[in-house]
Structure 1
Amino acid sequence: MPYPDRLLTDDEEVVRHLHPHGLTIFWPVVLFLLVVGGASFGAALVPPGPQQGMVRLGIVGLAGLLLVVLVVVPLLRWRTTHYVVTTHRLLFREGILARRGRDLGLSRITDVSYSQTLWERIVRSGTLTIETAGDGGATVLRQIPDSGGVQQLLAYMIEEDADRRAQEHAGYLRSDDDRPPADGWHSTAVL
Protein backbone atom coordinates (compact mmCIF):
# COMPACT_ATOMS: atom_id res chain seq x y z
CA MET A 1 0.00 0.00 0.00
CA PRO A 2 1.63 3.31 -1.05
CA TYR A 3 2.02 6.21 1.37
CA PRO A 4 -0.88 8.72 1.04
CA ASP A 5 -0.05 11.52 -1.40
CA ARG A 6 -2.14 13.98 0.62
CA LEU A 7 0.63 14.03 3.26
CA LEU A 8 3.25 15.15 0.72
CA THR A 9 3.97 18.58 -0.73
CA ASP A 10 3.52 19.24 -4.45
CA ASP A 11 7.12 18.59 -5.49
CA GLU A 12 7.79 15.82 -2.95
CA GLU A 13 8.05 12.14 -3.86
CA VAL A 14 8.29 9.00 -1.75
CA VAL A 15 11.71 7.38 -2.19
CA ARG A 16 11.28 4.50 0.27
CA HIS A 17 8.40 3.39 2.50
CA LEU A 18 9.21 0.94 5.30
CA HIS A 19 7.54 -0.87 8.16
CA PRO A 20 9.51 -2.46 11.02
CA HIS A 21 11.36 -5.62 9.99
CA GLY A 22 9.11 -8.56 9.12
CA LEU A 23 10.58 -10.65 11.93
CA THR A 24 8.72 -8.44 14.40
CA ILE A 25 5.59 -10.37 13.45
CA PHE A 26 7.25 -13.79 13.81
CA TRP A 27 6.23 -14.33 17.45
CA PRO A 28 2.64 -13.16 16.95
CA VAL A 29 2.30 -15.75 14.15
CA VAL A 30 3.79 -18.47 16.37
CA LEU A 31 1.46 -17.46 19.21
CA PHE A 32 -1.50 -17.58 16.81
CA LEU A 33 -0.67 -21.17 15.94
CA LEU A 34 -0.19 -22.12 19.60
CA VAL A 35 -3.41 -20.48 20.78
CA VAL A 36 -5.51 -21.95 17.99
CA GLY A 37 -3.93 -25.39 18.46
CA GLY A 38 -4.26 -25.26 22.24
CA ALA A 39 -7.86 -24.07 22.11
CA SER A 40 -8.77 -26.79 19.63
CA PHE A 41 -7.09 -29.44 21.74
CA GLY A 42 -8.68 -28.11 24.93
CA ALA A 43 -12.13 -28.02 23.37
CA ALA A 44 -11.72 -31.61 22.17
CA LEU A 45 -10.79 -32.74 25.69
CA VAL A 46 -13.98 -31.40 27.30
CA PRO A 47 -15.96 -34.44 28.46
CA PRO A 48 -19.51 -34.85 27.21
CA GLY A 49 -22.23 -33.59 29.46
CA PRO A 50 -24.66 -30.77 30.03
CA GLN A 51 -21.87 -28.18 30.53
CA GLN A 52 -19.83 -29.21 27.48
CA GLY A 53 -21.13 -26.37 25.31
CA MET A 54 -20.49 -23.69 27.95
CA VAL A 55 -16.98 -24.96 28.67
CA ARG A 56 -16.14 -25.02 24.97
CA LEU A 57 -17.60 -21.53 24.58
CA GLY A 58 -15.41 -20.38 27.48
CA ILE A 59 -12.33 -21.91 25.82
CA VAL A 60 -13.17 -20.20 22.52
CA GLY A 61 -13.77 -16.88 24.32
CA LEU A 62 -10.46 -17.12 26.17
CA ALA A 63 -8.68 -18.06 22.94
CA GLY A 64 -10.29 -15.11 21.18
CA LEU A 65 -9.14 -12.72 23.92
CA LEU A 66 -5.60 -14.12 23.78
CA LEU A 67 -5.58 -13.78 19.98
CA VAL A 68 -6.57 -10.13 20.18
CA VAL A 69 -3.95 -9.29 22.81
CA LEU A 70 -1.08 -11.48 21.58
CA VAL A 71 -1.64 -11.49 17.82
CA VAL A 72 -3.96 -8.79 16.48
CA VAL A 73 -2.51 -5.86 18.46
CA PRO A 74 1.14 -6.58 17.49
CA LEU A 75 0.14 -7.11 13.85
CA LEU A 76 -1.79 -3.83 13.79
CA ARG A 77 1.11 -2.05 15.52
CA TRP A 78 3.48 -3.37 12.83
CA ARG A 79 1.08 -2.43 10.01
CA THR A 80 0.43 1.10 11.31
CA THR A 81 4.11 1.95 11.85
CA HIS A 82 5.54 3.79 8.85
CA TYR A 83 9.06 5.04 8.14
CA VAL A 84 8.98 7.10 4.94
CA VAL A 85 11.94 8.68 3.16
CA THR A 86 10.89 11.37 0.68
CA THR A 87 12.83 13.79 -1.46
CA HIS A 88 12.47 16.48 1.25
CA ARG A 89 12.04 14.79 4.63
CA LEU A 90 11.92 11.70 6.78
CA LEU A 91 8.49 10.87 8.24
CA PHE A 92 7.57 8.57 11.13
CA ARG A 93 4.00 7.56 11.86
CA GLU A 94 2.86 5.00 14.42
CA GLY A 95 -0.13 4.05 16.50
CA ILE A 96 -3.32 2.04 16.20
CA LEU A 97 -5.99 4.23 17.82
CA ALA A 98 -3.87 7.13 19.04
CA ARG A 99 -1.39 8.28 16.40
CA ARG A 100 2.05 9.74 16.86
CA GLY A 101 4.23 11.20 14.14
CA ARG A 102 7.33 13.19 13.46
CA ASP A 103 8.75 14.83 10.35
CA LEU A 104 12.45 15.58 10.01
CA GLY A 105 13.54 17.83 7.16
CA LEU A 106 16.53 16.35 5.37
CA SER A 107 18.31 19.69 5.71
CA ARG A 108 18.10 19.40 9.52
CA ILE A 109 19.68 15.94 9.70
CA THR A 110 23.33 16.19 10.74
CA ASP A 111 24.23 12.53 11.23
CA VAL A 112 22.77 9.11 10.45
CA SER A 113 24.33 5.97 11.89
CA TYR A 114 23.25 2.38 12.24
CA SER A 115 24.10 -0.52 14.49
CA GLN A 116 23.46 -4.24 14.22
CA THR A 117 23.85 -7.23 16.48
CA LEU A 118 25.06 -10.48 14.97
CA TRP A 119 21.46 -11.73 14.68
CA GLU A 120 20.39 -8.45 13.03
CA ARG A 121 23.23 -8.78 10.52
CA ILE A 122 21.98 -12.27 9.62
CA VAL A 123 18.37 -11.13 9.11
CA ARG A 124 19.36 -7.75 7.58
CA SER A 125 17.84 -5.57 10.26
CA GLY A 126 19.19 -2.94 12.64
CA THR A 127 18.83 0.29 14.55
CA LEU A 128 19.14 3.74 12.94
CA THR A 129 20.21 6.72 15.02
CA ILE A 130 19.43 10.10 13.49
CA GLU A 131 20.91 13.32 14.87
CA THR A 132 19.30 16.62 13.90
CA ALA A 133 20.31 20.25 14.25
CA GLY A 134 18.61 22.14 17.06
CA ASP A 135 16.98 19.05 18.50
CA GLY A 136 17.00 17.79 22.08
CA GLY A 137 18.40 14.38 21.25
CA ALA A 138 18.81 11.62 18.76
CA THR A 139 15.89 9.86 17.10
CA VAL A 140 16.34 6.10 17.39
CA LEU A 141 14.49 3.75 15.05
CA ARG A 142 14.66 0.06 15.92
CA GLN A 143 14.06 -3.03 13.78
CA ILE A 144 14.63 -1.24 10.48
CA PRO A 145 14.92 -3.62 7.52
CA ASP A 146 18.21 -3.20 5.62
CA SER A 147 19.39 -0.57 8.11
CA GLY A 148 22.75 -0.18 6.34
CA GLY A 149 21.04 0.44 3.00
CA VAL A 150 18.61 2.91 4.57
CA GLN A 151 21.51 4.75 6.22
CA GLN A 152 23.25 5.05 2.84
CA LEU A 153 20.00 6.13 1.18
CA LEU A 154 19.48 8.85 3.78
CA ALA A 155 23.05 10.12 3.30
CA TYR A 156 22.45 10.24 -0.46
CA MET A 157 19.06 11.97 -0.07
CA ILE A 158 20.57 14.56 2.30
CA GLU A 159 23.19 15.41 -0.35
CA GLU A 160 20.52 15.54 -3.08
CA ASP A 161 18.38 17.84 -0.91
CA ALA A 162 21.35 20.14 -0.28
CA ASP A 163 22.08 20.29 -4.02
CA ARG A 164 18.40 21.02 -4.80
CA ARG A 165 18.31 23.80 -2.22
CA ALA A 166 21.56 25.29 -3.58
CA GLN A 167 20.15 25.31 -7.12
CA GLU A 168 16.91 26.92 -5.94
CA HIS A 169 18.90 29.52 -4.02
CA ALA A 170 21.14 30.22 -7.04
CA GLY A 171 18.06 30.57 -9.25
CA TYR A 172 16.53 32.98 -6.74
CA LEU A 173 19.70 35.11 -6.67
CA ARG A 174 19.90 35.07 -10.47
CA SER A 175 16.33 36.35 -10.76
CA ASP A 176 17.18 39.19 -8.33
CA ASP A 177 20.08 40.30 -10.57
CA ASP A 178 17.72 40.71 -13.55
CA ARG A 179 15.55 43.28 -11.79
CA PRO A 180 16.23 47.01 -12.24
CA PRO A 181 17.53 48.96 -9.24
CA ALA A 182 14.90 49.94 -6.70
CA ASP A 183 15.28 53.71 -7.35
CA GLY A 184 14.35 53.32 -11.02
CA TRP A 185 17.63 54.83 -12.32
CA HIS A 186 19.78 52.77 -14.61
CA SER A 187 23.48 53.35 -14.51
CA THR A 188 25.22 53.55 -17.82
CA ALA A 189 28.91 53.42 -18.33
CA VAL A 190 30.45 56.49 -19.94
CA LEU A 191 33.63 55.95 -21.88
Structure 2
Amino acid sequence: MEHSGGALGERVLLRRHPHWKMMLGPAVLTIMLTGIAGVIVGFLDARAPDGVRGIAILLVLALWALIVARRFVKPFVGWWRTALIVTSHRIAVREGLLRARGFDIPLQQVAGVRYRRGMLDRFAGTGTLLIAPIGEPPFEFAHVPEARLTHALIHHQVFGNQPVARPRRFLHAFRPR
Protein backbone atom coordinates (compact mmCIF):
# COMPACT_ATOMS: atom_id res chain seq x y z
CA MET A 1 0.00 0.00 0.00
CA GLU A 2 1.18 3.50 -0.69
CA HIS A 3 1.29 6.42 1.69
CA SER A 4 -1.33 9.04 0.88
CA GLY A 5 0.52 12.11 2.06
CA GLY A 6 -2.14 12.67 4.73
CA ALA A 7 -2.09 11.76 8.41
CA LEU A 8 0.74 9.73 9.84
CA GLY A 9 0.06 6.05 9.25
CA GLU A 10 -2.62 6.74 6.65
CA ARG A 11 -2.58 4.21 3.81
CA VAL A 12 -4.24 4.32 0.40
CA LEU A 13 -6.50 1.29 0.21
CA LEU A 14 -8.12 2.00 -3.15
CA ARG A 15 -7.80 4.47 -6.02
CA ARG A 16 -10.46 4.35 -8.73
CA HIS A 17 -10.88 6.43 -11.85
CA PRO A 18 -14.27 6.46 -13.56
CA HIS A 19 -14.76 3.50 -15.88
CA TRP A 20 -13.45 3.94 -19.45
CA LYS A 21 -17.01 3.40 -20.76
CA MET A 22 -17.50 7.14 -20.19
CA MET A 23 -15.25 7.72 -23.19
CA LEU A 24 -17.14 5.50 -25.65
CA GLY A 25 -19.53 8.23 -26.84
CA PRO A 26 -16.81 10.86 -27.32
CA ALA A 27 -14.57 8.31 -29.09
CA VAL A 28 -17.32 7.23 -31.51
CA LEU A 29 -18.19 10.88 -32.19
CA THR A 30 -14.53 11.67 -32.88
CA ILE A 31 -14.24 8.78 -35.33
CA MET A 32 -17.40 9.89 -37.14
CA LEU A 33 -16.29 13.53 -37.26
CA THR A 34 -12.88 12.50 -38.57
CA GLY A 35 -14.51 10.51 -41.37
CA ILE A 36 -16.84 13.38 -42.28
CA ALA A 37 -13.97 15.87 -42.23
CA GLY A 38 -11.90 13.51 -44.42
CA VAL A 39 -14.71 13.24 -46.98
CA ILE A 40 -15.17 17.02 -47.05
CA VAL A 41 -11.41 17.64 -47.40
CA GLY A 42 -11.25 15.06 -50.20
CA PHE A 43 -14.17 16.72 -51.97
CA LEU A 44 -12.61 20.19 -51.58
CA ASP A 45 -9.24 18.94 -52.79
CA ALA A 46 -10.79 17.45 -55.92
CA ARG A 47 -13.41 20.08 -56.78
CA ALA A 48 -12.69 23.43 -55.16
CA PRO A 49 -11.11 26.21 -57.24
CA ASP A 50 -7.36 26.69 -56.71
CA GLY A 51 -7.73 30.10 -54.99
CA VAL A 52 -10.16 28.79 -52.37
CA ARG A 53 -9.00 25.21 -51.88
CA GLY A 54 -6.27 25.76 -49.27
CA ILE A 55 -8.31 28.14 -47.12
CA ALA A 56 -11.42 25.94 -47.30
CA ILE A 57 -9.44 22.87 -46.24
CA LEU A 58 -7.84 24.81 -43.36
CA LEU A 59 -11.28 25.98 -42.21
CA VAL A 60 -12.64 22.42 -42.24
CA LEU A 61 -9.60 21.17 -40.31
CA ALA A 62 -9.83 24.04 -37.80
CA LEU A 63 -13.53 23.34 -37.21
CA TRP A 64 -12.77 19.63 -36.83
CA ALA A 65 -10.01 20.41 -34.28
CA LEU A 66 -12.30 22.69 -32.26
CA ILE A 67 -15.10 20.13 -32.12
CA VAL A 68 -12.74 17.28 -31.23
CA ALA A 69 -11.11 19.38 -28.50
CA ARG A 70 -14.52 20.17 -27.01
CA ARG A 71 -16.17 16.75 -27.45
CA PHE A 72 -13.23 14.38 -26.88
CA VAL A 73 -10.15 16.03 -25.38
CA LYS A 74 -12.03 17.90 -22.65
CA PRO A 75 -13.99 14.80 -21.48
CA PHE A 76 -10.82 12.70 -21.69
CA VAL A 77 -8.87 15.08 -19.44
CA GLY A 78 -11.83 15.16 -17.04
CA TRP A 79 -11.91 11.36 -16.93
CA TRP A 80 -8.15 11.04 -16.59
CA ARG A 81 -7.93 13.61 -13.77
CA THR A 82 -10.85 12.32 -11.66
CA ALA A 83 -10.26 9.82 -8.88
CA LEU A 84 -12.04 8.33 -5.90
CA ILE A 85 -9.49 7.52 -3.22
CA VAL A 86 -10.19 5.46 -0.11
CA THR A 87 -7.57 5.57 2.61
CA SER A 88 -7.43 4.11 6.08
CA HIS A 89 -8.74 7.49 7.41
CA ARG A 90 -10.90 9.12 4.71
CA ILE A 91 -12.64 9.06 1.37
CA ALA A 92 -11.29 11.65 -1.05
CA VAL A 93 -12.39 12.82 -4.47
CA ARG A 94 -9.93 14.65 -6.71
CA GLU A 95 -10.87 16.32 -10.01
CA GLY A 96 -9.40 18.68 -12.55
CA LEU A 97 -6.14 19.57 -14.22
CA LEU A 98 -5.86 23.35 -14.37
CA ARG A 99 -8.49 24.01 -11.72
CA ALA A 100 -7.87 21.13 -9.36
CA ARG A 101 -10.54 20.59 -6.75
CA GLY A 102 -11.59 17.90 -4.36
CA PHE A 103 -13.04 17.09 -1.01
CA ASP A 104 -12.45 14.65 1.81
CA ILE A 105 -14.89 12.83 4.06
CA PRO A 106 -13.35 11.40 7.23
CA LEU A 107 -14.44 7.79 7.66
CA GLN A 108 -15.92 8.57 11.08
CA GLN A 109 -18.23 11.12 9.38
CA VAL A 110 -19.76 8.57 6.97
CA ALA A 111 -23.35 7.79 7.93
CA GLY A 112 -23.95 5.33 5.12
CA VAL A 113 -22.67 3.99 1.85
CA ARG A 114 -24.69 2.37 -0.96
CA TYR A 115 -24.25 1.49 -4.59
CA ARG A 116 -26.60 1.37 -7.54
CA ARG A 117 -26.20 -0.61 -10.77
CA GLY A 118 -28.43 -0.74 -13.81
CA MET A 119 -28.41 -3.47 -16.44
CA LEU A 120 -25.71 -1.77 -18.56
CA ASP A 121 -23.65 -1.18 -15.41
CA ARG A 122 -23.78 -4.89 -14.66
CA PHE A 123 -22.46 -5.74 -18.13
CA ALA A 124 -19.65 -3.18 -17.80
CA GLY A 125 -18.91 -4.09 -14.18
CA THR A 126 -19.57 -0.56 -12.96
CA GLY A 127 -22.06 1.34 -10.84
CA THR A 128 -22.78 4.51 -8.91
CA LEU A 129 -21.48 4.81 -5.37
CA LEU A 130 -23.55 6.88 -2.92
CA ILE A 131 -21.73 8.10 0.18
CA ALA A 132 -23.74 9.92 2.85
CA PRO A 133 -21.75 12.08 5.27
CA ILE A 134 -23.41 12.78 8.63
CA GLY A 135 -25.81 15.72 8.28
CA GLU A 136 -25.24 16.22 4.54
CA PRO A 137 -26.88 14.95 1.35
CA PRO A 138 -25.28 11.87 -0.22
CA PHE A 139 -22.49 12.32 -2.72
CA GLU A 140 -22.72 10.30 -5.95
CA PHE A 141 -19.63 9.02 -7.73
CA ALA A 142 -20.78 7.58 -11.06
CA HIS A 143 -19.11 5.02 -13.33
CA VAL A 144 -17.12 3.37 -10.53
CA PRO A 145 -15.36 0.22 -11.76
CA GLU A 146 -16.27 -2.74 -9.54
CA ALA A 147 -18.74 -0.59 -7.57
CA ARG A 148 -19.87 -3.53 -5.47
CA LEU A 149 -16.31 -4.25 -4.31
CA THR A 150 -15.62 -0.57 -3.70
CA HIS A 151 -18.83 -0.35 -1.65
CA ALA A 152 -17.82 -3.42 0.36
CA LEU A 153 -14.36 -2.01 1.09
CA ILE A 154 -15.72 1.36 2.26
CA HIS A 155 -18.46 -0.32 4.29
CA HIS A 156 -15.86 -2.54 5.93
CA GLN A 157 -13.62 0.46 6.73
CA VAL A 158 -16.51 2.50 8.17
CA PHE A 159 -18.58 -0.14 9.95
CA GLY A 160 -16.04 -2.97 10.35
CA ASN A 161 -16.57 -6.72 10.67
CA GLN A 162 -18.30 -7.00 7.30
CA PRO A 163 -16.70 -9.39 4.83
CA VAL A 164 -15.41 -7.84 1.62
CA ALA A 165 -17.36 -9.16 -1.38
CA ARG A 166 -15.61 -11.12 -4.10
CA PRO A 167 -15.94 -10.16 -7.76
CA ARG A 168 -18.63 -11.99 -9.68
CA ARG A 169 -18.27 -13.21 -13.20
CA PHE A 170 -20.42 -12.31 -16.21
CA LEU A 171 -23.32 -14.77 -15.75
CA HIS A 172 -23.60 -13.96 -12.05
CA ALA A 173 -24.91 -10.50 -13.01
CA PHE A 174 -28.33 -12.07 -13.59
CA ARG A 175 -28.61 -13.88 -10.29
CA PRO A 176 -30.61 -12.27 -7.46
CA ARG A 177 -28.66 -10.77 -4.59
The TM-score by the shorter chain falls in which range? 0.7 to 0.9
Measure, in 2, the Cα distance between the counterparts of 1:116 and 1:110. Answer: 21
What letter is aligned with 1:52? Answer: R
Match of 1:14 in 2: 12
How many pairs does the alignment contain? 158
Residue deviations 1:8-50, cap 9 Å, x none? 2331111111111110011111122112221111100011422
Match of 1:25 in 2: 23
Other structure's SS at 2:62 match = helix
Matches within 5 A, 1:1-191: 7-46=5-44, 47-48=47-48, 49-133=50-134, 135-159=135-159
Structure with bigger gyration radius: 1
Percent identity of equivalent pairs: 25
Measure, in 2, the Cα distance between the counterparts of 1:87 and 1:100. Answer: 21
What letter is aligned with 1:75? Answer: F
Other structure's SS at 1:113 match = strand
Measure, in 1, the Cα distance between the counterparts of 2:93 and 2:61. Answer: 37
- TM-score, scaled relative to structure 1: 0.76
Cα-Cα RMSD: 2.0
List, as ranges, runs of 4+ consecutive aligned residues in structure 1 with deviation greater than 6 Å. none
Other structure's SS at 1:98 match = coil
What letter is aligned with 1:121? Answer: R
- TM-score, scaled relative to structure 2: 0.82
Measure, in 2, the Cα distance between the counterparts of 1:136 and 1:105. Answer: 13
Other structure's SS at 2:98 match = coil
Instruction: Quote how far apart the aligned CAs of 1:73 are.
Output: 0.3
Structure 1: 5+ residue stretches without partners:
161-191
Other structure's SS at 2:51 match = coil
